[in-house]
Structure 1
Amino acid sequence: THGQHAVPATFGYKIAVWIDEFIRHIDRLKGSEERVFVTMLGGGAGTMASVGMEGLKTQELMAQELGMHSMQMPSRTIGDHLTEYITLLAMLSATSSKIAREVYTLMKQEFGELEEPVPIGAVGSSTMPQKRNPRLCQDVVAWAAEVRTFVPMALESMQTEHEADKTTSMMINSAIDRTCILVDQILNGLTEIFRDIQIFPERMRANVELSGGLIMSERIMLVLGKEMGRQKAHDVIYQAAQNSVNQARPFKETLMEEQELVERLSEKEIIELLDPEKYTGLCSYFAETYSKKASILVEKLRK
C-alpha cells in the first residue's frame, strides 16, 4: 500500500478484486436498461399535439419492435438517461484502465511479475532491439482516459434551453458515439491481454523477499501482542523494523536483538512467523469464490 510493502497478497486476490468491480459494473448497466434504452415520439416539442394518444401507443409499438422501452415522459430536453449511460461506461473504463495500468507496472523489469502477450516478431523500438513494450496496456489506459473526458461533456449536454437545443444534441451525440467505440476497444484490448498473459510466480515470490522479511511485521506483532499487549508489541517490532531499514540488515537479525521478543518467542517460532506463504489471509478463498462467480456470470451473459 502507498507504494510500500504491506502484507503478502496473492495475484489471485488481485484478480478477485477486479472481478468484483466488473460484476457491479454489469449490474449497474443492466439496471439502467429501462431508463437508457428508450424510444421517443413526441412531435416537435414532445407535447404529442400532432398525434395525441395514438402517438403514445405508436411509441410503445416502436419500443417493442426494437426491443427497447417506451419513454415515459417524451421530451427532447431530457438527457439524464444518456448521461447516466456515458457515466456508467466511464466507470467501467476506469476499472479497465486500473487493471491495464497494474499489468503495465508489473511488466516493468523492476517487477517482472507479468507480461502481456508479445507476438513473435513484434518490434518495440527501431533503435532498441530488446524492447518488449506493453502496447495493449497503454492502449487501454489511453482509451479509458478519453472516455472519462466525455462525462463532463455529457453533463453539460443536459443544460438544454427550452424544449430543444441543437447545441446540446450535438454534444451528447458526439459523446455517445465516441464513448461506445472506445469502450468496445477497451474490452477487446483487455480480452487480448488476458487471453495469453504470462505470469511469473517465481519473480512474485522473490519480490516479496525484497524487504528482507519486513513484510511480515504485522504477523509477528499480532502474535507478540497476545503476550504483552498490542501497543507494546507494536513498539518492539517497530524498533526492530526501523533498525533493519536504517542499518541495512536482515529483519530476523534485528528481531533477535529485541529482548522482549526473544523472551517470549523462540528463534524457530520467529523464523516460522517470517514465512509470507503462511500469512495470506483469505486470498485463496476470495480467488476461488470470485473465479466461480465470474464463470457463472459469463454463462448468464452468453444466454
Structure 2
Amino acid sequence: MSDGLFDGVLAAGPVAEQVGDRAWLQAMLDFEGALALASAEAGVLPADAAELIARSCRAEDYDIAEIGARAVGIGNPAGPLVRALTARVPAEAAAYVHLGATSQDVSDTAAMLVTARAFDVLRGELRECGVLLARSAETYAGTVMAGRSLLQQAPPVTFGLTAAGWLSGIAAAIDRLDEIRRDRLAVQFGGAVGTLAALGDKGIPVLSGIARQLGLAEPALPWHTERSRIAEVAAVSGQTCGAVAKIARDITLLAQTEIGELSERGPAGSGGSSTMPHKRNPVAAVLAAGSAGQAPGLVAALLGAAAHEHQRAAGSWHAEWRPLSELLRTTGSAVHWLRTSLERLHVDTHRMRANLDETAGLLLAENVATALVSASEGAVGRQAATDTVADRCREALAGTGELADLLAADPVITKYLERRRIDELLDPTTYLGSTDEFIRRTLDNWRTQS
C-alpha cells in the first residue's frame, strides 16, 4: 500500500476509499455475516446465533494492523479475522462462526464485494465523463479542425467527431463494466476443496443465500482455482484505463504550445511549474495518463497469477491481492482525473481553424485527387490523379507557389476542374463525409445506454 505521499496524485477520486484496508476488512466481515444468516435460513444453525454473528461484523470494531500481523501464521488475514470474530460474539454463537467455509471463501468473496463497490462508484465517474463528452460532441459537431495521422495534419475532421470518438471508448468501458458487475462478480463458497462436504445437503441453499444477501451472482460451482472472473476484472480495468489514456494523450497533444487547440482552465495554482512561471500544464490530463499508465503491468500481474494448482493454489491466490487493489485504485484515479480535465477543458475554435488553414489547403489534396478521378470519368485513374496532385503539393511545400494556383496551372487538372471548383475542393468544410451521421449515431447510442 502507498504511504500517502503520492495518493493525492495517483490514488485520487472516490474509488480509492472502496479498495482500502478497511473496505477489504468490512467485505470479509460481510461474507461472515451473510454466511451466518444464510446458514440460519437453511436450518444449519439457530437464527439467534446468526443474528449475534451478523451484529458483530463491523470493521470499526477490529484492529486492522493486528489482524495483518497475525496473518503470517496461516498466510492470509481471514484466519485471524475469524478468530477475532469468534472471540467477539457471545459464547452461544461462537461455535457457528465460519461454519463450512475456508479462508479463500472469505477473501475471494471479499474481493468480489470490493470490486463491485469500486465498480459502482467507477461507473458513476465514467458516466459523468460521458455526459461531458456527449455535450462536446454536440456543441462542436460543426467545428472543423485538422485531422492528424502519424502526428501530421491529415484531411479535416470536427472536434465534435473527436469528442464522439472519445465518448465511444468510455461507453464501451461502461458496457463491459456493467456486464461483469451483473454476471461475473460471484460469491466464492466451496469449503476446503470446493465440495461443501461439511454442510451435507445444505451447501447449495447456503450458497444461494449468501449470494442473495450480498447482491453477488451465484456461481455454478466454486471457482477457487478457476480464475476467469479475476481475469475479466483485470481486463475491463485495463480497457477502461486504455480509453482514458487515449483521451488524455490527445488532450495533452492538442494543448501543446505549437498547437494550442485545447487547454485546461482550472483553479488558481493548477497546471503550474516549480521553475517556469509561464507554464500552464494540462495537469489533470497528465495525471489521468499517469494513473492509466500503471494499469498494463497490474493487468499482467493478475493474468500471470491465473494458473492455480489442483483444488487450492500455493501462492497464486496470494499474488492477486495487491495487484487487484492497486488496479482498481489506479483505474479510479485515472477516471477521476479525466473527469476533472474534461470539466476544465477549454476549446479554442479559432486556433483550430488557424491551424487548419496554415497549410493553405494541402490537407485537402485527397479531395482534389478524388474529384479529378470522378470529373474525368476514370480517364485519369486514382493513382495517376494522386501522383499529379502530389507533385503540385511538393511544389507548394518547396515554396514555388500557393497550392490552389499550382493546381489551377496544371494542364491535366484544369482539363477537368475549373478554378472555382478547385477552390471549393480546398474548403475543409466540404470534405467531412459522414461526420455528422457518425456523431449522431454515437450520441444516440450513448443516450440509449445511459
Q: Do both share a fold (TM > 0.5)?
A: yes
1:294 and 2:446 are equivalent in the alignment: yes
Call closer, same or farther: CA 1:71–1:123 in 2, change over 3 Å. Answer: closer
1:129 and 2:277 are equivalent in the alignment: yes
Amino acid at match of 2:426: L
Match of 1:61 in 2: 209
* Aligned pairs for 1:129-208 within 5 A: 129-208=277-356
Call closer, same or farther: CA 1:123–1:204 in 2, change over 3 Å. Answer: closer
Match of 2:387 in 1: 235
Q: Equivalent residue of 2:193, what SS?
A: coil
Match of 2:415 in 1: 263
CA contact (8 A) 1:36 1:82 kept: no
* Aligned pairs for 1:28-177 within 5 A: 28-122=176-270, 124-177=272-325
Shift of 1:154: 0.9
2-structure distance, mates of 1:239, 1:296: 48
Point out 4+ residue stretches in structure 1 off by more than 4 angstroms.
none
* Deviations 1:114-155 (CA, angstroms, capped at 9, x unpaired): 012332243612321111112111111111111111111111
Amino acid at match of 1:173: W
Shift of 1:263: 2.3
Q: Equivalent residue of 1:70, what SS?
A: coil
Call closer, same or farther: CA 1:149–1:123 in 2, change over 3 Å. Answer: closer
1:282 and 2:434 are equivalent in the alignment: yes
Amino acid at match of 1:103: I
* Deviations 1:8-27 (CA, angstroms, capped at 9, x unpaired): 00111111112222222222
Call closer, same or farther: CA 1:111–1:297 in 2, change over 3 Å. Answer: same
1-structure distance, mates of 2:422, 2:271: 49
Shift of 1:48: 1.5
Matched residues, number: 298
* Bigger mean CA offset, 267-276 vs 112-121: 112-121
Q: Highest Rg: 1 or 2?
A: 2
2-structure distance, mates of 1:225, 1:107: 38
Gaps of 5+ in 1: 299-303
1-structure distance, mates of 2:410, 2:200: 86
CA contact (8 A) 2:190 2:222 kept: yes
Shift of 1:295: 3.7
CA contact (8 A) 2:169 2:243 kept: yes
* Bigger mean CA offset, 161-170 vs 267-276: 161-170
CA contact (8 A) 2:302 2:320 kept: yes
* Deviations 1:31-74 (CA, angstroms, capped at 9, x unpaired): 22355310121111212221133112111111111111112120
TM-score (norm 2): 0.63
Match of 2:359 in 1: 211
CA contact (8 A) 2:270 2:283 kept: no
Shift of 1:99: 0.3
RMSD of aligned alpha carbons: 1.8
Shift of 1:257: 2.5
1-structure distance, mates of 2:422, 2:415: 12
Amino acid at match of 1:216: L
* Deviations 1:256-301 (CA, angstroms, capped at 9, x unpaired): 2311112222212211111011211122232233234334433xxx
Shift of 1:80: 1.3
Shift of 1:109: 0.7
Shift of 1:221: 1.0
Match of 1:301 in 2: none
Q: Equivalent residue of 2:156, what SS?
A: coil
CA contact (8 A) 1:103 1:116 kept: no
* Deviations 1:212-239 (CA, angstroms, capped at 9, x unpaired): 2111111111111121333332222121
% identical equivalent positions:
26
* Bigger mean CA offset, 72-81 vs 56-65: 72-81
1-structure distance, mates of 2:287, 2:279: 17
Shift of 1:206: 0.9
Structure with the bigger RCO (C-alpha within 8 Å, sep 6+) is: 1
Amino acid at match of 2:434: L
TM-score (norm 1): 0.92
Amino acid at match of 1:286: F
Call closer, same or farther: CA 1:126–1:144 in 2, change over 3 Å. Answer: closer
2-structure distance, mates of 1:2, 1:123: 27
Amino acid at match of 2:404: K
1-structure distance, mates of 2:270, 2:328: 29
